[in-house]
Amino acid sequence: MPNYNLEERLAKFVERVIDLMKKLPENGINKRMIPQLVASSGSSCTNYNEACEAESKKDFKHKIGIVNKELREAKSWLRFLAKANPVHIQEFRLLWQEAHELKLIFSKIKSSCK
């Protein structure tokens, strides 16, 4: 059954990111990229929460735009981390797909804002 609660879906996405990052070995590559992914995925969720409390339509549209940017960034970090950690490629693919679907949803929301 699809999850239409976007706040919960974003939160679960971030939690899955965190769970996977805990599995990765500590090395120079991961040490630099993991914080970037955790920050961008987490920011997508917190900016959505702020959008829900927006003070105007313009503010809402702006914050949804930030959600989109953070999801796009998370997709990039997922790709790079997958390359650096091929043992977990399937988990990265699933997370990338979720980030992609969320980005499509928020792109549609933003484009429907007049």
Q: pLDDT tens across 42-51, in order?
A: 999 999 999 9
Residue 114 pLDDT greater than 80, yes or no = no
**Residue 1 within a domain:** no
Domain coverage including residue 19: 6-112
Q: What is the tally of structural domains in the chain? A: 1
- Residue 95's identity, in one-letter code, is L
Interval 68-108: pLDDT, tens: 999 999 999 999 999 999 999 999 999 999 999 999 999 99
Q: Residue 86 gets which letter from DSSP?
A: G
Task: Give domain status of residue 90, yes or no.
Answer: yes
Q: Looking at residue 3, what is its pLDDT?
A: 58
Structural domain includes residue 29: yes
**Percent helix, strand, coil in the chain (nearest 5)?**
85, 0, 15
- CB 92 within 8 Å of CB 78: yes
Residue 48 belongs to domain with CATH number: 1.20.1440.60
Which residues lie closer than 8 Å to 60 by C-beta, 6 or more apart? 51, 54, 113
Question: Whole-model pTM?
Answer: 0.93
